[in-house]
Chain A
Amino acid sequence: MGSTSDENHGSAGVGRRDLIKRSAALGLISVPTMSLLSACASGGGGGSSDGNGAQGQKSKDNPFGAKKGSKLDVMVFKGGYGDDYAKAWEADFDKKLGITSTHTGTQEITGKLQPRLNASNPPDIVDDSGAQQIKIDVLYKNDALLDLSEVLDAPSVDDPGTKVRDTLIPGTLDPGVQEGKVVALNYIYTVWGLWYSGKLFQEKGWQAPKTWDDFLAICQDAKKQGIGGLAHQGKYPYYINVAIMDLIAKKGGIDAVKAIDNLDPKAFVGSDAAQAGIEAIYEVVEKGLLMPGTNGLTHTESQTRWNQYKAAFITCGSWLENEQLKQTPADFDMKFLPMPLLAGSKMPFEAIRAGSGEPFIIPAKAGNLPAAKEFMRRMLSREWSTLFAKEANSLTILKDGVDASVKLRPGTQSTVDASKAAGSNTFRFLYPDWYSEMDTAIQNASNELMAKRIQPKEWLKRCQAAVDKQAKDPASKKNHHD
C-alpha cells in the first residue's frame, strides 16, 4: 500500500489522499476504538537544549553560521515522492558545508517523531506529512515549532539581493501559517486538472481541447473507436469533484469559488456557474462517455487503465506521473491540461487550481538550529529545487524553480509549462480544509450523480443543503476566503 504523500493541501492538512490511504491502512487492523482514546500519551517536556550549541562563523554564504563538523539530523516522509531527493540534498549539503547529515526516511512520522519531541531531542528538520503526520496546528499549540521567518527573510541562495520569501510563488506559504507566523514550509507545488497521453492524441489526430465542446468531441470520437472518454478514480469521489469544482470556478470566476468557501446561501442553488458546471459533467455521464466501470475503480485501478490507453482523459493532481511511474509505458508522453472552458467563462483557459503541500518543519528544540535553517534556505535554491523535480517528478514552490537545461519527465514538464502560462491565474477551494463534513456531502452527491442515480438539479440541492448546514455551525464564522 504505497502511500502518497501529496495533497496536504491546507493548514489543517491531512490530505484527502492520505486519508483515503489511511482508511485502507486501517483495514490491516481493526482498532477497538476505545484503545485509541487511551493512546494519547502526553510527555512532560524534559530539559531544553538551546539548539545553538553548534553555532559557527556566520558569513555571506552561511548567514546562520552552520558549523563545520557539526551533525544535522534529517527526517523525511518516504511516501509517493520517495526520499532520494532528500539524500541528494544531504550529500550536497555535507559536501559544501562539511556537515555530517543523518537521514531517516519513514512513513511512520508520528511514531518516530512524537517520542523524540517529548524527550526534547527532536530531529533538526522534518518533512511532516503522510497518513501519520502530526498535525501542524497541534505541534504549534504545543510550542514545538520554530518560526521560519528568519529563513524566509534571509538572502536567497540564487540572488543574495532578494529575500527568500520573495522568490516563492505567491500564496504558497499560506497553508503553513498559524496565527500569522509561518511555522511550516509547504514545499511541493501541486496543480490539478486533466491528463492525457501525447502519444494517443498524436495517433488519433486529436488536439488538446480548450473548450468543453472540443473536449466532448474528443470523448465522442474515442467512444467510436472503443476507447473510454473520461476516466476518474470513482471509488474516491474526491477526484471527480476536482473536475466539477474547477469547471464551476472557471465559469463563475473567483466569486464562484468564494461563494462556496464562504457558505453563501446561493453557492449552488441559484448559481449559474454551479448549474453550468454540473450539467456539463452530467452530459459526459449521460452520453456514456465515461470509461466503463470507472465509477467503482480505485485510483490505482483507473489510472493504470488510463495508462493502458483505455481512456482519453483522467482527472488528477500533479503527483500522477510519479505515482504511475511503473505503469506508464515509455512512449506514453504524459501531458497535463487545464480544465477546458465552458462557454462564457470568467476565467481564461490557462487558469488552474494550484497550491502547496508537504510541510517541512524545524522543531523549536532542534539540536542544530543554524544548520537546519541553512538547510531550509538551500531547499529554496534553484539547484535543490531542480534536484527535487528530477528525483520526485514534482514542482516546488520556488518561482521558476527548475533549470531550463534539465530534462524533466514529460508530465512534470507540462505542469511547468502550464503553471508558467497560468501566471497569477490560479485559484484554490478552501472548503475541503475547513469543512470536511460539507466536503464529504458534496463528494457523496457527485458519486450519486456519476452513477446516474441523481440529476444535476438534485445535486445542486444536496450541495446547497450541505452548505446551509455548515453555515449554521458557529465555528464557521472564523473562516473567510477574502
Chain B
Amino acid sequence: MRKGQYRFVAGFLFVPVALYVIFVIWPYIQTFGYSLTDWKGQSQTFDFVGLDNYKALLRDDVFLEAIWHNILFLVFIPVITILLALFFAFMLNAGGRGKAGGVQGVAGAAFYKIVYFFPQVLSLAILAVLFNAVYRSDGGGLLNGALIKVGLVDADNPVEWLNEPNLVLWALMVAVVWQGVGFYLVLFSAAMQSIPKDVYEAALIDGASRNQSFFRITLPLLWDTVQTAWVYLGIVAMDMFVLVSSMTQNMGAYGGGPDHHSDVMSTVMMRNFLYYGKSGYACAMGVIMLLLTLVLSVVTLRATRRERIEF
C-alpha cells in the first residue's frame, strides 16, 4: 500500500468498530459482571455472589429443558426449511419437462416464486397473530373449524393446539418453516441461476435423471449458499422468543406453556430478568446462551466446510 493509505483505511474503520465495541461488546462484558451478582434489576445495589448463579442454573430444570427445546428447534427448523426450499427451488429452476434438451422450471415458475416469497414480508408479530388464528383452540380457529366441519374433531372438545405438550413445539415449527421457506427458495434460486446451463445440458445428454442432476450438480454447486442458510436458520432456532412469548400458554409472563413445554432459553431468561426480578441470574443465562451460540456457529461452519468449486 502507498504511504497514508493505512491511516485512510483505519480512519474509516474506526467509527463502526467503536460503535460495535460500545454497543455490543461492552454490554456483553457488563452482563458477565452482573451474572456474578444477585442484582435485582431495580437499582444499582447488589452483592457479589461468585459463581452461585451458574451453580443454580445447572439445577434449574426449566432452563435445562428450555435448552433441549432450542436444540430440537436447531435440528428440525434448518433441516426442514432447507430441504423444502431446495426442492421447490429446483423444481422452479430445473424441474420442468425439458423440451428438446433445454433446462427450465415447471410451468408458472415465475408466479410461484412471487407467491412463495409472500410470507417473508410479514413481521414476526404478524406471523404470530396469523398462526394464533390458525391454531385457535375453539371452533373459530382455522384448523379446528375445518376439522369440525369434516367431522374429525368433536365440536365440544376442539384440539387446543398450543396447549398440548406434545404438539406445541411442532405447531411453532410449522409457523417458522412456513415463513422461512420463501426466502431460502429465492436465495437458492438465485444461486441456481448462476450455474451455467451447459453443465445441465451436458448431464442431460449423458442421460442423467432429474435426481442425479440435482444431487451431482445442483447441490454441490450450491453448498456455500446452503451453509449460509444453515447459519441463519440456526440463529432463528436459538431465538424463537417472539413466537413463543406471543403464541403459547402464559407461564406468568412470556408464554412458554403448557407446563414449560415450549419454553426456550430466551423466554426463561426474560421471565427471570423482568418478572421474577432475578436479573443477575438471568444475566448468567445470557452468558450461557452466548457460549452456546458461539459453539454452535463454530461447529456449523466447521462441519459444513468443503472445497470451493469455481465455475
Contact of B139 among A27, A293, A447 (CB under 8 A): A293
In contact, B160 and A293 (Cβ under 8 angstroms): yes
Give the nearest-CB partner of B283 in chain A: A37
In contact, B31 and A447 (Cβ under 8 angstroms): no
Contact of B136 among A138, A238, A301 (CB under 8 A): A301
Is B98 close to A, CB under 8 A?
Answer: no
Is B37 close to A, CB under 8 A?
Answer: no
Is B43 close to A, CB under 8 A?
Answer: yes
Is A305 close to B, CB under 8 A?
Answer: yes
Is A24 close to B, CB under 8 A?
Answer: yes
Interface set, chain B 155-185, CB cutoff 8 A to A: 155-158, 160-163, 165
User: How long is the Cα–Cα vector from A33 to B257 in the complex, in angstroms?
Assistant: 21
Please judge, given known A-B contacts A38-B27, A135-B42, whether A20 and B250 are in contact too, CB under 8 Å.
yes
In contact, A292 and B250 (Cβ under 8 angstroms): no
Interface set, chain B 21-52, CB cutoff 8 A to A: 23-24, 26-28, 30-31, 34, 42-44
Please judge, given known A-B contacts A33-B269, A34-B286, A294-B138, whether A451 and B160 are in contact too, CB under 8 Å.
yes
In contact, B277 and A296 (Cβ under 8 angstroms): no
Is A345 close to B, CB under 8 A?
Answer: no
Contacts of A19 in B (CB 8 A): 252-253, 275
Contacts of A447 in B (CB 8 A): 163, 249, 257-259
Contacts of B68 in A (CB 8 A): none
Total interface residues on B, using CB and 8 Å?
61
Is A169 close to B, CB under 8 A?
Answer: no
Please judge, given known A-B contacts A234-B249, A293-B138, A293-B158, whether A23 and B44 are in contact too, CB under 8 Å.
no
Give the nearest-CB partner of A310 in chain B: B138
Total interface residues on A, using CB and 8 Å?
49
User: How long is the Cα–Cα vector from A380 to B112 in the complex, in angstroms?
Assistant: 64
In contact, A292 and B252 (Cβ under 8 angstroms): no
Please judge, given known A-B contacts A297-B136, A444-B259, whether A27 and B161 are in contact too, CB under 8 Å.
no
Identify the stretch in A248-256, A270-278, A434-442 within 8 Å (CB) of chain B at 4 or more residues.
A434-442
- Mark contacts of A26-37 with chain B using CB atoms, 8 A cut-off: 1 yes-contact digit, 0 otherwise: 111011011111
Contacts of B136 in A (CB 8 A): 293, 296-297, 301
Contacts of B31 in A (CB 8 A): 33-34, 37
In contact, A141 and B43 (Cβ under 8 angstroms): yes
Is B137 close to A, CB under 8 A?
Answer: yes
Is A235 close to B, CB under 8 A?
Answer: yes
CB distance from A287 to the nearest CB of B (A): 12
- Mark contacts of B257-276 with chain A using CB atoms, 8 A cut-off: 1 yes-contact digit, 0 otherwise: 11110000010011101011
Please judge, given known A-B contacts A35-B27, A36-B273, A451-B258, whether A236 and B139 are in contact too, CB under 8 Å.
no
User: How long is the Cα–Cα vector from A33 to B283 in the complex, in angstroms?
Assistant: 9
List chain A positions with a Cβ less than 8 A from chain B. Answer: 19-20, 22-24, 26-28, 30-31, 33-38, 40, 42, 135, 137-138, 141-142, 234-238, 288, 291-298, 301, 305, 436-437, 439-440, 443-444, 447-448, 451, 453
Contacts of A31 in B (CB 8 A): 241
Contacts of B270 in A (CB 8 A): 26, 33
Contact of A138 among B27, B43, B241 (CB under 8 A): B43
Chain A interface SS verdict (over half): helix
In contact, B24 and A34 (Cβ under 8 angstroms): yes
User: How long is the Cα–Cα vector from A471 to B259 in the complex, in angstroms?
Assistant: 22
CB distance from A392 to the nearest CB of B (A): 26
Of residues A35, A37, A235, A440, which shows the largest number of chain B Cβ atoms within 10 Å of its Cβ? A37
Contacts of A301 in B (CB 8 A): 136, 138, 140
In contact, B286 and A33 (Cβ under 8 angstroms): yes
Contacts of A448 in B (CB 8 A): 258-259
Please judge, given known A-B contacts A19-B253, A37-B30, A292-B139, whether A27 and B160 are in contact too, CB under 8 Å.
no
Is B254 close to A, CB under 8 A?
Answer: yes
CB distance from B111 to the nearest CB of A (A): 32
Is B106 close to A, CB under 8 A?
Answer: no
Contacts of B275 in A (CB 8 A): 19, 436, 440
Is B128 close to A, CB under 8 A?
Answer: yes
User: How long is the Cα–Cα vector from A296 to B131 in the complex, in angstroms?
Assistant: 13
Please judge, given known A-B contacts A27-B124, A34-B286, A234-B163, whether A293 and B23 are in contact too, CB under 8 Å.
no
Contacts of A20 in B (CB 8 A): 250, 253
Is B251 close to A, CB under 8 A?
Answer: yes
In contact, A235 and B239 (Cβ under 8 angstroms): no
Interface set, chain B 265-306, CB cutoff 8 A to A: 266, 269-271, 273, 275-277, 282-283, 286, 289
In contact, A30 and B157 (Cβ under 8 angstroms): no
CB distance from B154 to the nearest CB of A (A): 9
In contact, A436 and B276 (Cβ under 8 angstroms): yes
